[in-house]
Amino acid sequence: MKKLASIVVSIVLALVPMNMAFANENGTPMNISSKSAILMDVGSGQILYEKNAHDKLPPASVTKVMTMLLCVEALDSGKIKLEDKVQISDTAASMGGSQIFLEPGETQDVNSLLKGIAVASANDACVAMAEYVAGSVEGFVDNMNAKAKELGMKDTHFANTNGLPVDNHYTSAYDIALMSRELLKHESITKYLTTWMDQVVVGKKQVTVGLANTNKMVKHYQGTTGVKTGFTQEAKYCLSASAKRGDTHLVSATLGAETSPERFKDASNLLNFGFANYESVKLCSKDDNIATLTLDKAEDNKVNLVAKENLTVLIKKGGNKDFTRRIKVSENPNIPIKKGTVLGQVEVYQGKKMVGKVDLVNTKDINKASYLQMLQRVIDSML
């Protein structure tokens, strides 16, 4: 991005005081039995509670959060479509553990495979989608690790797509929260993550297979938005669980619980603590018109810049606070410019501390002005 010019705007909101301290600095608010745990705000990434959050542990099927993220990114980019037909390989059909019993040589659409992953934690569907999206499981796993690096997941290395026991496959509660937060930004995945019961038709004999969501919080916890369970003998019971109430969207991750009820109890306690003590305030929504960029050499010399995504600030419940919004826009960017290019940023400060930011992008392609347009502008300015 070219050099940014900044505009500082003071905004006074009837908000509660900001408290960015970890919850356990004031005494642990709950008894978390899982080996590792974290509570994170989806909007801002703020950590509200952590316990051994960077311990590198096997995640079992919580791995599939990253698998789904790469699949939904491929969908949103137009690389693949929900109605695309995927031929099932011998490798995909041979996966054990949780599955939807795919058969070698049959075809399934992307919609059914994604449903199988999100609802029934299907290992065979993970491999089928990996092969379809990346051409091979190995290539897809490389993409998983590349995405983990991009998201700042420093405690993670993936060795497969589904979390079945294998050497050198690990992550942390913190990293699970990061990739879960990223997945939840894609609204198209919500219908899969929150489906309680469904079915798919598989095999050459077209057998109907019932699906029941492995994440019981979908049915039993108010506002649940996802995301994924996991279990192996080595990993024990793992869970990434998210919920939204009003504008407050939280995600908890727990690893290494001894029983399934314990992981759900831990996740519920974490989310309950977050909703009881914190709330998110939305400062702008995705696609809100934030600034106008003047480009004298562009075909349209006034360019609207909009928020690339929602901008929220997490605050502790209680009194009032002032926030400062600083808008930065590019100076003299090179034209032409493709739609969706980052041309600015909004930063929100509390005092001198930045507590949130969001990129600003253009809503349409920006092309160079013609010679006649430039000449007309010169004449207009003279008149």
* Residues carrying an active site annotation: 61, 64, 121
Domain end call among 281, 305, 320: 281
For residues 177 and 214, membership in a common domain is answered with yes
Residue 196: which CATH number?
3.40.710.10
For residues 141 and 247, membership in a common domain is answered with yes
* Host domain of residue 63: 23-281
What is the number of other CB atoms lying within 10 angstroms of the CB of residue 339? Answer: 10
- Return per-residue pLDDT of the chain as tens, 383 residues: 444 444 444 333 333 333 333 344 444 456 899 999 999 999 889 999 999 999 999 999 999 999 999 999 999 999 999 999 999 999 999 998 999 999 999 999 999 999 999 999 999 999 999 999 999 999 999 999 999 999 999 999 999 999 999 999 999 999 999 999 999 999 899 999 999 999 999 988 899 999 999 999 999 999 999 999 999 999 999 999 999 999 899 999 999 999 999 999 999 999 999 999 998 888 888 889 988 888 877 777 788 899 988 888 888 886 445 788 899 888 888 888 899 899 999 998 888 888 888 999 988 888 887 777 767 766 777 76
Domain end call among 242, 261, 281: 281
For residues 116 and 245, membership in a common domain is answered with yes
For residues 105 and 241, membership in a common domain is answered with yes
For residues 10 and 41, membership in a common domain is answered with no
For residues 222 and 329, membership in a common domain is answered with no
For residues 93 and 145, membership in a common domain is answered with yes
Count of domains forming the chain: 2
For residues 193 and 255, membership in a common domain is answered with yes
Domain end call among 281, 310, 337: 281
Residue 368: which CATH number?
2.60.410.10
For residues 190 and 229, membership in a common domain is answered with yes
For residues 44 and 174, membership in a common domain is answered with yes
For residues 40 and 149, membership in a common domain is answered with yes
pLDDT per residue as tens digits for the range 306-351: 998 888 888 888 644 578 889 988 888 888 889 989 999 999 888 8
For residues 329 and 187, membership in a common domain is answered with no
Q: What is the pTM of this model?
A: 0.83
pLDDT per residue as tens digits for the range 116-174: 999 999 999 999 999 999 999 999 999 999 999 999 999 999 999 999 999 999 999 99
